[in-house]
Structure 1
């Protein structure tokens, strides 16, 4: 893990290099947050927006970032920052990972990001709440223009909470048209779609694909299906280590799978539906009551939960993989869960966004054999 941590730090430094402009937003100043997003979208350099703990209400409309220059730089938006001395964004403590709230006030979409080609975007440690959209993505909508046939964009959505958002489609999260998408360690709960889906991801043609890993998507409602929908044209998709449970009608659905490769492994899925026939691997999936702590927004597995230590660990976490790394192995579970706890404990990782300190129950020690 030490090697992995060093590599991660190097990659972050490369991705958001010394040219990056760093913004610190504090004291619930929503106007200042939107001003930073507006500056970042046109300044032709990498940008890091640090948001201190607190609540930030959408100003007049949704928070928005729309790149107008195809050569613009990368963007990182990250919450959970706290003060040391005179610097309000000096440190990011594990206990503050979910203490930065972006609030749509039940009137506006929370955040809309529209990127140019060849951009890396990372969004982490934020709560998206009370968003409302008439189309898609009440909490978060992020995409690249449709007229880019082979986008080079990378989207990383990590360690966020999406709760009490509403839209016609994709009440919590809408993601579309990136070369590579990482959505990991997120909690999507209590969102409502007036038509369908709490999460909707479009994986378009000629792209590397999607890694949807260690997410907890539960208790979402919709007139039709309220779970996760993945629309695949011709690409690769890894669905691993997710808890998809108690969403209206369907918890996971694949639409329009024309060609490509689907890897569906080590998930607890209530109800599953799919079209197409591009599944390469369908292993260690099950449908059992998850047995969770049950506190407010706490979905940590109990000691008797079937989720404990049943997640897949990519082989590249334990060893240095040879190049090129196969797509299905080229992902990492993240260093921490959504609460900031170490992701790998007792020699394994749990299914879902929450890591428990428990060892697996004897019943599930060897999986379900």
Structure 2
């Protein structure tokens, strides 16, 4: 407050003490004392002046480089009339800064514009592009400083020491975009008490403190606007406060975005200051109009007392454009411009109907309903399929009927599609901001068959209801979305699940997993498993029962070009099942998790499949060519009790853990499965387990690679490994086949296994029990070509224990091995994923796995 009172007195003293008034105009002559006849230049008039004189500058442009060496007041005809520029050389380049003000002076500049000053290396100046001041008291009143450049400090204004008053001032478009080292685009102040009232600061540039850089001293900013200023992120693009005390911001518009106000000195912002857009008439960068729109939040937002405390006179003063400083009936506006009229309310309309995420909404005959704004004369509505709102609006309407509640009839929309809509208000040529965006989904034609089956795939000829093959739904994404939306309607149960049958084709996830927004859900899209919904692939499109399906001959592929996870199952899914698909090209990466069914989904885990606290059955899947930057290139499991039956998990990669499968605290059962060719630089090429349990039965773990535990890597896990082959895996450090970390919770039991047991093959861990075991080459048909079936002479034939297979839930009489052969052919079951002899022909095998 002391600084404000000083300036109130100073404003009176400088006027009262003015001894002589000298005049300058463009057609004057630099002769005499500039009193009886005007001079031509400010510099000459200054040379004729005594300390405390006033120089009155008429309208016009004056190109000078002036050094002020005495107390002086320079009064222009108006900021839009009197312009000070530097001199220019023959190449039309500015030759220096406009004003240099010497130490210890009292100087007042008012009602003029200074522009295009330059303080750069090539002219041996560095600081203060328009003004370089060491004045004891400097006042800028109704002044515009714009388009000035300094290569170091203060492109617009450099002030060192003393006090600086800015009132009804504009600092805009100062600072060089080409210099990465300049500081303080609009103002650089050091050891200075700065008082700013009704100042607009916008479109300045600096590497630090694009609007203002306070190196030392204090700054009180009242009734002002901090518009968009430019610089690196977190560089204090509006204000950087390097002083020892907080900057005080009162009754001002500023941005609350992180990093726009920064610096160790901090900021104190009163509750009447407003975050957000100031509402300039034109906020373009090159030629902005920083006066206020009729709906600007800055109108009537200032406090009159702050203005008068800064030396202003509300009865007589004008704004920067020469208009009355306060419009009758209102309070002073924020910023340098006063809006000449009553404000209008064009704030975003409140949307009423449909509710956000409403489903189902009629495809025609419904209405969009919103609340009217009091000053709106018209409304604009945008309605479009999801993700096309701004680029391709479905409809764009103007209404002129103003009532308390407004509505517009929906046009004919596509069935079972998500739309979004928004509204904004208009008054004459002005419009407000768009309302919130609301989504809704139109009603669906989908209806399962009497047997509770939905049919999916391209090529349907009917109404796409999904109740028979001719009416098949085109995409699996739509079928699963419909199931998700109706999951609580009692249409199916754990005892009588919904089945989705998918023909041989390629399917990609379309909807974002966290809210089913889409299509084109991008990185966050996935197929989301639904409670008690069983999804089967591998149909030709004519079958009438599941046992007619041949998923080996009719490949259904789930793939992606953008999604991080192809399949997600989060939470309890009851009897859910995924069966008969090839899943490839998932790529789990990124830094931002999404929330699905209340669970946070790590973007770096589970390239193909991500399971969290979920216990689906995954059967007859080929999971290949997926990757994750952290763990689970093929499958990531966190909790739950999933069962994996008849899986090939091959050629997946992970940046850290479990390239094939990464299991954290899950109770995992793996039966009749192959893990081969998976690789990662740390732990568990085939499978990594951390906590939980692993039950590995009649599976083959071969040709995987990691730093430790090429086949398997366990810590804190109880594992039972039965009827399994673990051979030919590689590790850089140890545990080529199996690596158990010495931990009181790491317990491993192997029985009826074929496992390599040369030095470096097994690191046992804490408790390690080896029952019946062979340590001989299993004699795969052609391991280097990915064929891990057993030859007729394999020592593994009949070495398994059929009872162990039955205990894991297997049915030897009817089950098939991974290649489709009968699971039991000899006296006893064979270990591994394949039964021999009697394996199918090479052609059938290669159709299945190549």
Query: By the TM > 0.5 criterion, same fold?
Result: yes
Matches within 5 A, 1:7-156: 17-26=494-503, 27-31=505-509, 40-41=528-529, 45-52=531-538, 53-61=555-563, 62-67=565-570, 72-79=573-580, 100-104=581-585, 110-116=607-613, 119-144=614-639, 153-156=640-643
Which residue is 1:275 aligned to?
765
Greater CA drift, 261-270 or 134-143: 261-270
8 Å CA contact retained: 1:188, 1:198: no
Contact 2:559 2:583 (8 Å CA) reproduced: yes
Distance 2:702 2:803 in 1: 24
* Structure 2 match to 1:337: 817
**Secondary structure at 2:616 match in 1:** strand
SS, match of residue 154 in structure 1 = coil
Partner of 1:3: none
Q: CA 1:39 to 1:20, structure 2 compared with 1: closer, same or farther past 3 Å?
A: farther
Give how far 1:157 is off.
Answer: 1.0
Within-5 A mapping of 1:149-228: 153-168=640-655, 169-178=657-666, 180-202=667-689, 204=691, 209-228=693-712
Gaps of 5+ in 2: 1-492, 517-524, 539-554, 590-605, 840-850
| Structure 1 residue 243 displacement after superposition | 1.2
Question: Residues 312 and 112 from structure 1, CA distance in 2 versus in 1: closer, same or farther, beyond 3 angstroms?
Answer: same
SS in 2 for 1:314: helix
Count of residues in correspondence between the two structures: 291
Query: Which SS does the other structure have where 1:50 is aligned?
Result: strand
1:214, 1:333 within 8 Å by CA — same for their partners in 2?
no
| Bigger Rg, structure 1 or 2 | 2
User: Are 1:242 and 2:732 counterparts?
Assistant: no
Q: Deviations over 1:237-294 (max 9, x none)?
A: 3111111111113111222441475321111112211211x34x42111211111211
User: Partners in 2 of 1:39 and 1:247 — Cα distance?
Assistant: 32
CA-to-aligned-CA distance 1:281-313 (integer Å, 9 cap, x gap)? 421112111112117432221121111010122
Equivalent residue for 1:232?
716
Using a 3 Å threshold, how does the CA distance of structure 1 residues 316 and 202 change in structure 2: closer, same or farther?
A: closer
2:510 & 2:685 partners in 1: Cα distance?
A: 29
Task: Please give the alpha-carbon distance, in whole angstroms, between the structure 2 residues aligned to 1:139 and 1:49.
Answer: 19
State the Cα deviation string for residues 107-166 of structure 1 (Å, max 9, x = none): 8754232333xx43111111111111111111111223xxxxxxxx32111111122211
- For the 8 Å contact 1:102–1:110, the answer to whether it is kept is no
RMSD in angstroms over aligned alpha carbons?
A: 3.0
Q: Which residue of 2 aligns with 1:301?
A: 790
Q: Distance in 2 between matches of 1:123 and 1:25?
A: 16
CA distance in 2 between counterparts of 1:183 and 1:357 reads: 23
Residue 203 of structure 1 deviates from its aligned partner by: 5.9
- Greater RCO structure (CA 8 Å; 6+ sep): 1
Q: Give, in angstroms, the shift of residue 19 of structure 1.
A: 4.3
3-state SS, counterpart of residue 135 of structure 1: coil
Kindly indicate whether residue 827 of structure 2 is the aligned counterpart of residue 347 of structure 1: yes
